[in-house]
Structures are given as structure tokens and as C-alpha cells.
Chains A and B, each alone.
Chain A
Amino acid sequence: MLALWGRVSVEPAIVLRVENLRTWFPVKTGLFKPVSYVKAVDGVSFSIHRGEALAIVGESGCGKTTLGRTTLRVLEPISGKIYFHEKEITHSREEELKEFRRKTAMIFQDPYSSLNPAFNVYRILEEPLIINGIRKKEERTELIYKALEEVKLNPVELFASKYPHMLSGGQRQRVAIARALILKPEYVVADEPVSMLDASVRAEILYLLNELKNRHQIAFMYITHDLATAKYLCKRTAIMYAGKIVEVGPTKEIISNPRHPYTKALIEALPDPDPSNRFRRIKVVPGEPPNLLNPPPGCRFSPRCPYAKDICREREPELEEGPPGHYTACFLKDEI
């Protein structure tokens, strides 16, 4: 009891929590046919604490971006619940979301298209300040310069006057980060923030994100297809497949001891730079991810899974805890 009490007292507050979230997109297949749904996010639950980064890792089309957007209420879920600081915002109207909008932000994948080319950096960073009613020009300028300093774009006056086309990819992404963080958000979703960047600047941006997350104790969702970069930013990782979280736990645990067959296949397929790789054959699972209009019954990975048994095709596995904090949705997790 004492131990438990001790653990609760050091645990930072939960900033964002979602329960059984479902975001489906309606599709009309014909004039008189019933509407069917693309089940992009289908029953996802997790929480993110203050100062914590959670990685959402999965392949394209697994629903990870939809999940990120739903938690920011850019999309409205069809069922489930979203709590921000324990206040439910699942279906709140836009007027009620004003404060939520100010306290959340998003960093996009492509810094070449997420910055307005007709605005200089000063104007790009000023936009959220104007929208959120910071009237005094001096105050805005001060905040802008401070934000540029935080993302290490020095000298700040020089960078404030530049236009996006005058900046390199890494510098643009710094501007995008400055814009996301300028209002001191408490929850930030970063959707593949380094995947468009060259290898030599990628690490720099990862370190910057980590530093800012720690300094401002931001709850952070890092969406990526690359488990290797997740390791450098996130203590905890959730693996998504076909709209569901199939495994979640400490990132290092997941990498060294994956328990879901999909996670195992994913890790096997990711090469480390090693010249002996050319002599190996990668063990790959056959097939493609399912169509989310009509996912297979039972476990969604079962049609591709080398271990699948009858139960996998009949019933959907739930996330269950194995090693402490490490949850896996697989009937065979203890056997394989």
C-alpha cells in the first residue's frame, strides 16, 4: 500500500486520456446502398502524462495520423471519450474548445508545405498570437524572438525577417516547432516531424524536441513509422495496426522483447546500418494490411500471422499486461 501510494505521488498528472476511441469515415458505395465506414481508428485507449512522450508507431494507413488528429479534436470521433485534464471534450462545440485549442498544437511532417510562403517568419509566428488576442505589438515581438531563440534560430532578428524559401529544411522545421510552442501548449502532436529531413539534421531536431518537451513539461504524441527515431524521443511506444493498438509499453522493452507477431515482423524488417545485412534474408510476413472498410474478423493481423490459430480468426484479442507496463493484444503472446 505504501509502495503504491509512493508511486502515485510521483506520477505527473495525466494531460490527455482517450477511452475506446473510434474515428470512422463514412463512405457511400452507391446511391441506394447503405453507408459503410472506413474504421481508421477503432477502439483505442491510452493516456499521456505531463512531460511524457508517447510514440505511435505504425505503417501508412494504420490510422496513426487520424488518431493524432482526433485527440486534437480536428476530427470528431464516432464513439469513445477524450479527456483533457480530466475534462471531457469528445463532442464539445468549437466555442467551448477555445481554451483547448490554445493549450494544444500540432507539428506537421512537411515543413515545405506547412509554412505560408508569402509570410516571413515573423508573420508566421505572429499569426497564433493575433488569433489568441495578444494585442500589444511589443509583447508579440518579445514572444516571437523568445520562441526563435528557443529553437536556436540565431540571430533572431535576421531569421524573423526571412521567408520560408530562404531557409533549409531543418530551419523550416524549427520555425514550425516555434509556431507550435509559442503559446506554451500543454499537449503537442508531432506527425512525422523528421521524416522529410536529411539524416544529418534529423538528430538535431529530435534533440531539440526532446529538450523543449522536458523544459516545458509538454505531453507529447510522436507519430512515426520509424521505431528507431521513436527510441530517441519516447520512453513509451504504442504499435498500431489496422486501426488498433496491438502493443504498448516501454520503448526499450518493445524493441528488445516484442510480444506481438506484428511488432516482431516490424522490428525484423527494420535494418540497422550493418554491412553484413547484405548476406541475410529478411524474414517477412506475406500480404498487405487489411482494407479498413471491411477488416477481417478476430485479430486483424491473423490473415498474415505465421502463428494464427482458430481463436485468432474468431475473437478479437484485448490488450493484456505481461511484463509490468507492457500490454499486448495477442492470444498467443505467451507461447510464441
Chain B
Amino acid sequence: MMKKILVTEDLVLYYRTSRGPVRAVDHVNLWVEDGSSLAVVGESGCGKSSMAYAILRILPRNVHSYSGKIIFDGVNLMDLTDEEMRSKIRWRKISMVFQGAMNTLNPVIKVGDQIIEPLLIHAGYKKEEALREAREAVKNVGLPEYVLDRYPHELSGGMKQRAVIAMALLMKPRLVILDEPTSALDVLTQANIMNLLKDLKERERLSYIFITHDLALASELADYVAVMYAGKIAEIGSAETIYKNPRHPYTQKLIGSVPTLRSEKVLEFIPGAPPDLVNPPEGCRFHLRCPFAKDICKRREPPLIKVDNDHVACWLYGGE
């Protein structure tokens, strides 16, 4: 059994709104094995990005509650102060490639000066040293050195995305959170970036949390898959289980809804819409859309139970 580099226990992140707390991350238990990648998949609004922010403690002002355990390499991150999170964990141990990150580069600052920012701020490097590191870092992601002297508008989308990935890897983190890292890119550029991420994982022995709504794309990287629905983990298991023998009715339907190029199948869809996270239904949050819902599903929330080597939160598989 491999070592787990990250484990969350009962992770909670609720946002305060005028209508009441939004339960974006609601008692989430997941784990990442060292050197492997966990894809977190789910539809928009299921809480997958919030979960990433909760792990890194990048929180907005309107937090209602934030609790649980985040154990990284044996240390509960919840016990650290904000200053310790900033100076010891973020970028150094866990870094993140944000959604649409390539469009967040400052247009009036050279790419190189932006890439080295974490080194200057978090590690106290001098500018020359930092630039030396940055030259290595951009080579590592397949970019020519001259991009450091360019402004963002002089680079293509794919090049900017590579620069942002170089920045995330600059301080040699162990775990990288990728939040829809290719969502604004073309199909061919996306394929290029996926190849790069595969190479880097092997070369640098990285672990990934890969957040995406695209199940087909997730399979390019995922050793394990966690399926989120309405702020909770519905199922977590090996990629083989999730894609070939999904257990949770939601996962089954979701896999069935992905159009495939190379095989013929009738596409499935799930009638209805995900619940409002201010006022989620009692019992299993999927029961209103679930074709197999039983009486207990309407009354009690299913716990995440172990079935073979995988975990599923569904009353169809016992757990009482």
C-alpha cells in the first residue's frame, strides 16, 4: 500500500450568504496517494474548486464555517497559523494552477518577473538567482528561455499555460492542484499540455489533484477518481473501477452521459438539476434524481463505505 500524501477528514467549507450558509464542501473525506493523481470530477457548482481552496486555505471573506482535518505528510494543516501556511505550505509543498490562470498574468509585467515572484516572496531569493531558477523551470515545461523577457500578449494561450505551470513547479512542491488547467485551450493545445503534465508527474514524482468537469479528459491523468455531487463525495476509487464498473447511480449516469468518439452508445442524461446547496434535500442528496432511491435514501445520509478497494456513499451497498 502506498503512502498517502494528503488526507482530508470531514473537511467543511460553508459560505455565508443572505439566504443562509451555502454548503459548498460538506464533510469531505478524500486522500491522495504519494506519486499518483486523483481526479476530482463533478458538475459546475458541486464544490470541487471550493474543496481545493479549502485545502490551501485560500478563503474569501464570507466564510461561514471551515473545519475538519487536512493531513499533509503527517501534519494537520488546520493546526498551522496563516503565516505558516503562507511561508511553509503554499507554493513550497502544495501549489496550484488556477482555472483560466493564463489569463491572470499581469499584462504589463514581463513573464519572467511574474514567474519568479514566489521565489522572491516565499524563499527570499535575489532577483538574479531567481531568474536562473526560472530559466530552468521554463525549459522544464518545454518553453524557450526568451519567454522570460516577453510580455503575456506576445505568447500564445498554450505558452502562457506552460508558463503558469512552470510557476507552480518552481519551488518543487510535492502536490500540485490543477483546477481545469486546459479549459480555455484548443483541443490540440490541450493534448500538448496533458502530455506535459504526464511527463512532469513521472520526472518530478509529483502528486496531482486534477479538478475537472470533463470525464474523458480526467482519464488522461487519473490514477484515482473522486466523484463529487452537491458538496459531497459520492464515490472514490481507482480509475478502472470508476470508468468500467461505477457503483454510485450518479457516477453510472454521469459516465453514461459522456459522448464517445470511437464507440457507439446511447447517451444517458439525468433529469432534474443538482440541489440548492443552501437547502439540500434530506437523506442522500442525489435521491430526488436517483432511479433506485429507496425509503432510507430519503431519510438518512449515506456514509462513505468501503466496497472492495473503493469507497462509495450509497445505501444500495449497505452500510447501516
Contacts and interface: CB of A to CB of B under 8 A. Distances in A.
B106 to A, nearest CB: 23
B61 interface: no
Nearest to B187: A269
B59 interface: no
Interface in A286-322: 288-289
B261 A231 contact: yes
A60 B156 CA distance: 13
Query: Could you say which of B194, B223, B238 has the most chain A C-beta atoms within 10 Å of its C-beta?
Result: B194
A251 to B, nearest CB: 10
B204 interface: no
A277 B223 CA distance: 10
Interface string A172-200: 00000000000000000000000000111
Given A198-B44, A202-B257, A275-B240, A269 B188 contact: yes
B194 to A, nearest CB: 6
A200 B188 contact: no
Interface in B164-217: 186-192, 194-195, 198, 213-217
Interface residues of A, number: 42
A233 to B, nearest CB: 10
A199 B188 contact: no
Contacts of B187: 59, 225, 266, 269-270
Given A273-B215, A273-B219, A285-B188, 6 more contacts: A200-B257, A206-B267, A266-B187, A269-B190, A271-B216, A278-B198
A278 B239 contact: yes
Instruction: Give the residue among A168, A275, A285 with the most B Cβ atoms within 10 A.
Output: A275
Contact of B186 (A225, A227, A232): A225
Contacts of A288: 156, 158, 189
A204 B269 contact: yes
Nearest to B259: A228
B161 to A, nearest CB: 12
Interface string A203-240: 11011000000000000000001111101100000000
B40 interface: no
B79 to A, nearest CB: 34
A203 B220 contact: no
A258 to B, nearest CB: 11
Given A60-B186, A284-B188, A199 B257 contact: yes
Contacts of B44: 169, 198
A93 interface: no
B257 A271 contact: no
B261 A203 contact: no
Interface string B14-44: 0000000000000000000000010000011
A138 interface: no
A200 B270 contact: yes
Contacts of A156: none
25 contacts: A59-B187, A171-B273, A198-B43, A199-B258, A200-B254, A200-B257, A201-B270, A201-B273, A202-B269, A203-B268, A207-B269, A225-B186, A228-B261, A229-B259, A266-B188, A269-B188, A273-B243, A274-B219, A275-B219, A275-B222, A275-B239, A275-B240, A277-B219, A281-B195, A288-B156
- Which one of A171, A198, A288 has the highest number of Cβ atoms from chain B below 10 Å of its Cβ? A198
B213 A59 contact: no
Interface string B221-262: 111000000000000001110111000000001110111111
A177 to B, nearest CB: 15
Chain A to chain B: the 7 pairs with minimum beta-carbon distance, closest first: A203-B267, A269-B191, A275-B239, A198-B43, A228-B259, A204-B269, A200-B270
A285 B195 CA distance: 12
Given A269-B191, A271-B217, A277-B219, A228 B270 contact: no
Given A269-B187, A281-B198, A170 B156 contact: no
B62 interface: no
A44 interface: no
Interface in B264-310: 267-271, 273
B220 A277 contact: yes
B263 interface: yes
Residue among B188, B218, B243, B260 with the highest chain A CB neighbour number at 10 A: B188
A49 B310 CA distance: 51
Contacts of A170: 273
Interface string A238-277: 0000000000000000010000000001111111111101
Contacts of B217: 271
Residue among B44, B214, B219 facing the most chain A CB atoms (10 A cut-off): B219
B221 A278 contact: yes
